[in-house]
Amino acid sequence: MFRFFENLVDPYAAYPETDAPPRRLWPFLWSYSQPFKPVFAITALMSVVVAVIEIGLIWYMGRVVDLLSGGDPAAILAAHGWELIAAAIFILTLRPLLQGLSVALLNNAILPQFGALIRWRAHRQVLRQSVGWFENDFAGRIANRIMQTPTSAGDAIFQIFDAITFSLAYLIGAAILLTGSDPRLAIPLLVWFALYGVLLRWTIARVGPASKASADARSMTTGRVVDSYTNIHSVKLFAHHDREIDYAKDAIEQTRDTFAREMRLFTIMDVALTALNGFLIVAVVGWAIWLWSTGVASVGAVAAATALTLRLNAMTGWIMWAVSTLFRSLGVVTEGMETITDPLRLTDAPGAKPLVMDRGTVTFDDVSHHYGRGAGGLDRLSLTVRPGEKLGLIGRSGAGKSTLVKLLLRFYDVEDGRILIDGQDIRTVTQDSLRLEIGMVQQDSSLLHRSVRDNILYGRPDATDDQMIAAAMRAEAHEFILTLEDPQGRRGYDAHVGERGVKLSGGQRQRVTLARVILKDAPILVLDEATSALDSEVEAAIQDTLYNVMQGKTVIAIAHRLSTIAQMDRIVVLDAGHIAEEGTHADLLAQGGLYAGFWARQSGGFIGTDAETEAAE
């Protein structure tokens, strides 16, 4: 039975993706609710049916009181016995069946699937954002918003159907019931309802913003705490435990303060509601008793009015809390939307086609990029890397080396000029097809918190185990991988490497990264300090492997250790975003320029990098 309801909506069904999701609350929720519209309609109808049944029961209890006070018990049972039996059968069978249907639609058909759908689609949307977008925010805050927004959206949907729809139907039914007994009984109910509406409006106007402020503060706290945990090595290395505690305390205090302000609203609401409910009980029941005393209302009408007001007294707190929770949840959703609905600014061009690799020519045509600051990065750089050419790229920190690589991978779009691969502007091809043709080993060789196997196969998921192991062997990684064991007892290629690969040494991480790129076997290879984390003995072995891997590929290798690029076909020296020198190792030494100076000053094969650091590198 549960499976039937749980399978009414598939949260992972295909849907049209958009680069600019709705940025207003209700259109945002409406766009995610499309697969649920039929289920929502049936659920709303069932909430009304359940409310009508509850009102009907109160009315019928009043009728029973009138019947029992109207004569001889035997005569009453003879005249109305079958009616009472039918009512009992309805209460014992149909009522729980209809209630169960209403609850199953809400709890089993909607809530698990609605939260999963939002979380799935939000995660897909965020993963489409550019690298630069992620660099401008806390990973912890992004993750927190992705996780809490679906939960709060589900809470909002729950309150709409479980409380709001039910309570509106109940209040309308109560007014009809009291009017049927005596129209004057509805007067105090309507007065109370007007005052209740004023209190509700006052609460709603304040709860939403207060909840958003509280959610913002919680996300900031999560971001700061995760930032400390992610960089725990730096925290311990610099003995900044107390500094991190203070850094988190500021955010925790802001969270406490915003939450305290939010709770003040609920205290005011509760006190005002208790006073309003007191008025409701005294006014309706007192009036019903007065009408009975004048012979206008029956004892059953008084009993029904009393039961109804006591039920409303119990319900109003629940309704107010439900409405407050609804708008509190919507406040959290609004906060999460700041991340989820941020438009994509780096997208595939309309009608973009996959990159067609022919020879592997890479051309930078008058490229400028300053990260929107007007300075730094690259300035009108033109460079062509010929098919199969091994190009070494050097320069002081801040010269523009990493900027060039980020632009080639289209992590950013060039501000001016263009980048071509085999004559195709990379802005006109799909991003995925572009990056599939480029293998890259970075200086920061962070790994996924998964198994060694998963990390290597990330380069080519359809590779066989034999191909994976062969790549690991070429990267001088196979032997140490076989010795690995994680705390859960997983060994070798199944051992997990920890967040960002922290359970491995820098050299081990670098070799796993190399194995991944070797397995990918892309026609364009980018090496950004690929051997920087290796000791001399391993580096010597890896260098031979790299030179073999480079064969037949177009290679761009960034290095501060000049010995690693001395054998390249051509070396380009960047300085302040321009090409200062280019040529072979021997040619550049003969010129006696920047490269010759770097070579003369290098210690252990490194360029002196005392120049200012480029913020973007």
465-475, pLDDT tens digit by residue? 999 999 999 88
Element (H, E) at 435: helix 431-436
pLDDT 10s digits, 267-276: 887 788 788 8
My answer on whether 53 and 122 are in the same domain is yes
Residue 511 in domain: no
My answer on whether 335 and 383 are in the same domain is no
Residue 225 in domain: yes
Average pLDDT over residues 513-530: 88
List strand residue ranges (DSSP E) for 281-398, in order: 362-369, 378-385, 390-394
My answer on whether 307 and 234 are in the same domain is yes
What 3 state SS string does 193-230 have? HHHHHHHHHHHHHHHHHHHHHHHHHHHHHHHHHHHHHH
| Boundaries of domain holding 177 | 9-340
Q: Domains in the chain: how many in total?
A: 2
- Rounded to 5 degrees, φ, ψ at 575 are -150, 120
My answer on whether 330 and 375 are in the same domain is no
pLDDT 10s digits, 15-50: 888 888 888 888 888 888 899 999 999 988 888 888
Q: What is the pLDDT of residue 539?
A: 66
Amino acid type, 189: L
Residue 307 in domain: yes
My answer on whether 227 and 368 are in the same domain is no
Q: What is the pLDDT of residue 603?
A: 47
Asked if the model's pLDDT at residue 528 lies above 80, the reply is yes
Residue 336 in domain: yes
pLDDT 10s digits, 83-111: 888 988 988 999 899 988 988 998 899 98
Query: In a 3-state reduction of DSSP, which class is residue 462?
Result: coil
Average pLDDT over residues 319-323: 71
For position 613, which CATH number holds?
3.40.50.300
Asked if the model's pLDDT at residue 606 lies above 70, the reply is no
My answer on whether 247 and 372 are in the same domain is no
Structural domain ending residue among the three candidates 340, 373, 406: 340
Asked if the model's pLDDT at residue 178 lies above 50, the reply is yes
What 3 state SS string does 36-81 have? HHHHHHHHHHHHHHHHHHHHHHHHHHHHHHHHHCCCCHHHHHHHHH
532: confidence class by pLDDT, cuts 50, 70, 90: low
Residue 83 in domain: yes
Query: In a 3-state reduction of DSSP, which class is residue 496?
Result: strand
Asked if the model's pLDDT at residue 616 lies above 70, the reply is no
Query: In a 3-state reduction of DSSP, which class is residue 378?
Result: strand
Exposure class string for 375-411: b at 16+ Cβ within 10 A, else e: ebbbbebebebeebbbbbbbbbebbbbbbbbbbbbbb
Asked if the model's pLDDT at residue 608 lies above 60, the reply is no
Asked if the model's pLDDT at residue 480 lies above 70, the reply is yes
My answer on whether 386 and 274 are in the same domain is no
Residue 378 in domain: yes
My answer on whether 179 and 59 are in the same domain is yes
My answer on whether 360 and 306 are in the same domain is no
Residue 45 to residues 31, 113, 472: CA-CA distances in angstroms? 22, 20, 61
Residue 447 in domain: no
Q: What is the pLDDT of residue 309?
A: 75
My answer on whether 255 and 384 are in the same domain is no
For position 41, which CATH number holds?
1.20.1560.10
Q: What is the pLDDT of residue 534?
A: 59
Q: What is the pLDDT of residue 429?
A: 95
Asked if the model's pLDDT at residue 133 lies above 80, the reply is yes
What 3 state SS string does 111-174 have? HHHHHHHHHHHHHHHHHCCCHHHHHCCCHHHHHHHHHHHHHHHHHHHHHHHHHHHHHHHHHHHH
My answer on whether 389 and 330 are in the same domain is no
pLDDT 10s digits, 411-459: 999 999 999 999 999 999 999 999 999 998 877 667 888 899 999 999 9
Residue 219 in domain: yes
Structural domain ending residue among the three candidates 340, 365, 396: 340
540: confidence class by pLDDT, cuts 50, 70, 90: low
Average pLDDT over residues 515-534: 82
The larger pLDDT score, comparing residue 547 to residue 496, is at: 496
My answer on whether 75 and 34 are in the same domain is yes
The larger pLDDT score, comparing residue 419 to residue 326, is at: 419
Structural domain ending residue among the three candidates 274, 309, 340: 340
pLDDT 10s digits, 348-386: 999 899 999 988 999 999 999 988 776 778 989 999 999
